[in-house]
């Protein structure tokens, strides 16, 4: 019986920053990992994500897609889906989509509750949103396994 599933990487593709979260190798817990600043150079940003995938021995990447409340694509989700298509060409692992409706709102609420403000909040909110995306995927997978 295999004891590990391999690490999963969660990604929140924002317009100014890319939040990144990482799971443990058993895929039980997602934790905030880092933030990749948008520099206006998608290939460079994607290469940084590919480097994280390689360095952290990631076996699957989970990317949040902000579908509309009626579960329909909108301009934001269509843009993210185009970027996911480009990332699939760069990353050498499985890339899956996860509904991320309201994750940034949830992350901001959590940070506000913890008293995190200002610049530090901006740096952490995208990482926390990525962790929420990844944790929801992990939890859904666990429900189907158990």
**What does the pLDDT read at residue 1?**
38
Q: What percent of the chain has pLDDT over 90?
A: 62
- Inter-residue contact 75 to 15 (CB < 8 Å): no
Condensed to tens digits (0 to 9), the pLDDT of residues 78-124 reads: 999 999 999 999 999 999 999 886 566 666 667 666 666 665 666 68
Main-chain phi, psi angles of 94, to 5 degrees = -65, 135
**What does the pLDDT read at residue 97?**
94
Question: How far, in Å, CA of 84 to CA of 81, rounded?
Answer: 5
Tokens linked to 100: 């991320």
**Residue 136 pLDDT exceeds 50:** yes
Tokens linked to 101: 């409706």
Q: What percent of the chain has pLDDT over 70?
A: 79
**Residue 49 pLDDT exceeds 70:** yes
**What does the pLDDT read at residue 117?**
65
Secondary structure, 3-state, the chain:
CCCCCCEEEEEEECCCEEEEEEECCCCCCEEEEEEEECCCCHHHHHHHHHHHHHHCCEEEEEEEECCCCCCCCCHHHHHHHHHHHHHHHHCCCEEEEEECCCHHHHHHHHHHHCCCCHHHHHHHHHHHHHHHHHHHHHHHHHHHHC
**Residue 5 pLDDT exceeds 70:** yes
Q: How many CB atoms lie within 10 A of CB 44?
A: 11
According to CATH, the superfamily of the domain at 7-145 is: YqgF/RNase H-like domain (3.30.420.140)
Q: pTM for this one?
A: 0.86
């Amino acid at each position: 019986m295999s004891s590990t599933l391999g690490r999963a990487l969660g990604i929140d593709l924002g317009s100014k920053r890319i939040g990144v979260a990482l799971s443990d190798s058993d895929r039980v817990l997602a934790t905030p990992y880092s933030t990749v600043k948008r520099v206006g150079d998608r290939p460079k940003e994607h290469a940084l994500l590919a480097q994280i995938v390689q360095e952290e021995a990631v076996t699957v990447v989970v990317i949040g897609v902000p579908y509309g409340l009626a579960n329909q694509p909108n301009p934001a989700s269509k843009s993210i889906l185009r970027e996911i298509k480009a990332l699939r060409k760069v990353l050498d692992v499985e890339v899956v989509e996860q509904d991320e409706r309201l994750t940034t709102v949830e992350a901001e609420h959590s940070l506000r509750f913890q008293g995190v403000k200002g610049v530090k909040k901006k740096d952490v909110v995208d990482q926390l949103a990525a962790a929420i995306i990844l944790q929801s995927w992990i939890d859904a997978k666990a429900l189907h396994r158990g």
